[in-house]
Amino acid sequence: MPELPEVQTIVDGLNQQVAGATVVGVSCDWKKMISVETENVSPNGAITLRSEKTWKKFESMVVGKKIKNVERKGKFIVFNLSENVHINAHLIVHLRMTGHFLIITPEKRKDTKNAIHEKVNQYIHFQMELSDGRIIALSDLRKFAKIAIAKKSDIDRIIIVGQDPLNKEFTLEKFRKIFKDKRGNVKQILMDQSLIAGIGNIYSSEILWEAKISPLAKIENLDDKEMKSIFNAMKKVLKLAIKMRGSSESDYRDVDGNEGGYQKIHKVYKREGKECFRKDGGIIKRIKIGQRSTFYCCKCQI
């Protein structure tokens, strides 16, 4: 957590509410999450990235800049900032396990019944103050989130992810192609971020239930019909999860501090011992695959 639907929900909220706003201040009480990524050219001409833990430089590259827009790359959030004397800056954020962004207004701070006052929204370690008095805050209970600033040409060196499952150009043919020579459990393959970006433990379980495929099935043994079922289920599940603003199984909240709604209609995830929604007599089981809990129906996912 959070996975693609949660990250996309946050990105959509940020674009709707803060695109075009100017950052007038930044603060952080856990500077280990901050880095400035700069190019380092070796004697042989090879270009690598040097990660600097320099708060003052980071601050100078963010303050005074306009947020042009926000986009998602896999599970990463990218704030595209206006040009400055250093670089055409891009703020790159990975929320890791428990991070989520909040947009806090002075009115919300005063209203103690507002969702932002829920305990899960109170672990704020990074803030960007906007010129209109609003604040973009990062709440992160476990402090695993990472925030880096880099120039546009270096983004692809920092964000190395596979195909985006919701990209219109990601066709069934491309889906089949990336799995052509792969071997192993289909669930673990779906969660491989170097192949497909954004699918984690929740949605891999939900996708495979929708496709009627066992999470223990070997990817190399699936036929064309089964691969098509997974592909269609992937698109369907992820789009619906975004529509319902993600799953709030634990810490995830949207930019207004509210829970998502998809957890209310999970078909298998965390439904161990319950009857399958297909009413086929199956019971949801929980097993461990790759040290992660996996949920599936013992009847329809064979």
Among this protein's residues, is 75 annotated catalytic?
yes
Candidate list 176, 228, 270, 292, residue with the active-site label:
292
d(CA 194, CA 162): 4
- Does the annotation mark 2 as catalytic? yes
Out of 65, 72, 73, 75, pick the active-site residue: 75
> Which is catalytic among the residues 2, 5, 165, 215?
2
Catalytic residue among 3, 37, 129, 206: 3
Q: Which three-class secondary structure state does DSSP give residue 224?
A: helix
Phi-psi region at 291: left, alpha or beta (left = phi > 0; alpha = psi -120 to 50)? left
3 is catalytic: yes
Q: Which residue carries 């089964």 as its tokens? A: 226
User: Number of H helices and number of E strands within the chain?
Assistant: 8, 12
Q: Which helix (H) or strand (E) holds 26?
A: strand 23-28
Q: How far apart are CA 17 and CA 141, in angstroms?
A: 24
Give yes or no: 292 in active site: yes
Burial label, 224 (beta-carbon count in 10 A; 0-12, 13-18, 19+) = exposed
For residue 42 the two structure tokens come to 């070796």
Retrieve residue 5's tokens: 């639907």
Active site residues per annotation: 2-3, 75, 292
